[in-house]
């Protein structure tokens, strides 16, 4: 089932064999059965989590339906999540994808910390790599008072929470408060939970708020629709407290990692590696960080795409309106770029009117769609640079991806640069790519 979703799967028949694989191979998620010959899953989990080399590996314990004590023991051993036998396909793929993304975010923070140290900055980055607390502020959306009370009680020892039974108020409640996770019942009596989730995902400020859905057995079709529209995770009734706490903890960690990647850099690093006008990373940071991203992608046999965007006729803007208007255009261009990228993407102002976007895990087809969407976002309305002046802006994009294990950052960049010049020669305001 995992291979059908294009995961690369390694298997071990015992705890020690699993530990050996984790030490020797690049692993993103570990699924551990509780009952194994020799070393059991709990001891294997403890050893994985106690080894500095593997302590960040997400571990999923596979437990029997009637063994609630196993879940508690798994939490004590450091497990990140649970799967219950017989393993449901939806649960399997959802858990693995969630934890793989969490591992990606954690790896990205570690890589950025290493980049900072290589540049001679970021001495305190170790304090920022992992959240110091996974206690969160939760919003529960459930219009059944008894059900909502049971959920709130199950979470009360580890988190603070508020129940909002009226879905009309939910977006306002989320906008006005700093919630870490929204938990919503799929079986609301007086509203459509899927419509609410879609609305939350469409609002810019809330697009990164994790959503956990509480689903009824037999409602798999609507559950799949929710996962497709961006719901992060789910748990089925009757709700197991330990599973619920594990799901919430994973989403809180993921949100805080993601927030960290979007918002926080040490002031000393900002001075060295941030463009002062646009607040994006500058050329120096990109050159230091790109090699790590490329090498990691090649080692993992994972795609990576790079695009270079250049504002069309920027010299004409400076000559016509002045450099202060040109600067305002650059700032707005950077903002539109930033708003349409993921937290793990690397966005840089390379120099002048050139901007670079590096997208780990994104293949050529997806990167081309992203580039087209970025150009549409830039051109959809004029840049308002003052109360009296709006300037229509377009851009040209050159695109490249990793094509072989022999590709270097310089080769990938050169292909994108050549494609950019081809886009300009072809009439501007378009995306071009150069074959390897």
Q: Which residues are catalytic?
A: 353
Residues 6 or more apart whose Cβ sits within 8 Å of residue 332: 383, 384, 385, 393
Residues 6 or more apart whose Cβ sits within 8 Å of residue 5: 93, 96, 97
Q: Do β-strands 346-351 and 354-360 pair in parallel, antiparallel, or remain unpaired?
A: antiparallel
Closest CA to 150 of 223, 218, 214: 214
- How far is residue 265's CA from residue 270's CA, in Å, rounded to a whole number? 6
Residue reference for tokens 């050549």: 418
Question: Do residues 422 and 434 touch, judged by C-beta distance below 8 A?
Answer: yes
What DSSP element (H or E) covers 163?
A: strand 160-163
CA atoms within a 13 Å half-sphere pointing along the CA-CB vector of 210: 25
- How far is residue 98's CA from residue 85's CA, in Å, rounded to a whole number? 19
From first CA to last CA, the distance across the chain in angstroms is: 33
Closest CA to 366 of 421, 295, 433: 433
For residue 163, list its beta bridge partners: 140
> Quick one: 430 exposed, middle or buried, by C-beta within 10 A (0-12, 13-18, 19+)?
middle
CA 331 to each of CA 12, 47, 133, 188, 324: distance values in angstroms, whole numbers, following the listed order = 52, 49, 35, 44, 11
Residues 6 or more apart whose Cβ sits within 8 Å of residue 187: 193, 214, 215, 216, 219
SS3 sequence of 68-92:
HHHHHHHHHHCCCEEEECCCCHHHH
What DSSP element (H or E) covers 307?
A: strand 304-311
Encoded tokens for 388? 């009296």
Q: Do β-strands 390-391 and 137-141 pair in parallel, antiparallel, or remain unpaired?
A: unpaired
């Amino acid at each position: 089932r995992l291979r059908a979703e294009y995961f690369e799967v390694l298997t071990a028949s015992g705890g020690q064999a699993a530990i050996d694989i984790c030490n020797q191979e690049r692993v993103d998620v570990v699924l551990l059965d509780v009952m194994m010959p020799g070393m059991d899953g709990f001891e294997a989990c403890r050893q994985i989590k106690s080894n500095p080399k593997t302590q960040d590996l997400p571990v999923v314990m596979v437990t029997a339906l009637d063994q609630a004590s196993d879940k508690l023991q798994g939490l004590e051993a450091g497990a990140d999540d649970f799967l219950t036998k017989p393993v449901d396909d939806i649960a399997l793929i959802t858990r693995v994808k969630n934890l793989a993304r969490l591992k990606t975010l954690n790896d990205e923070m570690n890589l950025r910390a290493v980049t900072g140290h290589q540049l001679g900055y970021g001495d305190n980055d170790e304090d920022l790599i992992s959240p110091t607390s996974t206690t969160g502020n939760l919003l529960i959306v459930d219009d059944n008072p008894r059900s909502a009370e049971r959920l709130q009680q199950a979470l009360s020892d580890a988190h603070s929470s508020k129940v909002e039974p009226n879905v009309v108020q939910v977006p306002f409640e989320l906008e006005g408060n700093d919630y870490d996770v929204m938990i919503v019942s799929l079986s609301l009596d007086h509203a459509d939970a899927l419509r609410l989730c879609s609305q939350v995902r469409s609002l810019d400020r809330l697009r990164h708020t994790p959503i956990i859905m509480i689903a009824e057995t037999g409602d798999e079709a609507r559950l799949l629709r929710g996962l497709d529209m961006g719901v992060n995770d789910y748990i089925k009734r009757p709700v197991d407290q330990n599973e619920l706490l594990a799901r919430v903890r994973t989403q809180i960690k993921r949100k805080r990692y993601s927030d960290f990647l979007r918002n926080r850099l040490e002031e000393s690093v900002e001075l060295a590696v941030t463009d002062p006008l646009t607040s994006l990373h500058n050329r120096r940071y990109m050159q230091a960080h790109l090699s790590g991203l490329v090498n990691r992608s090649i080692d993992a046999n994972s795609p990576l795409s790079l695009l270079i965007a250049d504002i069309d006729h920027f010299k004409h803007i400076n000559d016509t309106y002045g450099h202060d208007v040109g600067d305002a255009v650059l700032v707005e261009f950077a903002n539109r770029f930033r708003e349409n990228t993921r937290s793990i993407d690397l966005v840089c102002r390379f120099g002048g009117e050139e901007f670079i976007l590096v997208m780990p895990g994104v293949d050529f087809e997806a990167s081309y769609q992203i580039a087209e969407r970025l150009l549409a976002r830039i051109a959809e309305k004029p840049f308002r640079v003052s109360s009296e002046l709006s300037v229509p802006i377009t851009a040209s994009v050159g695109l490249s991806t990793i094509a072989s294990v022999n590709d270097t950052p310089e080769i990938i960049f050169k292909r994108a640069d050549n494609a950019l010049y081809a886009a300009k020669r072809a009439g501007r305001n378009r995306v071009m790519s150069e074959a390897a």
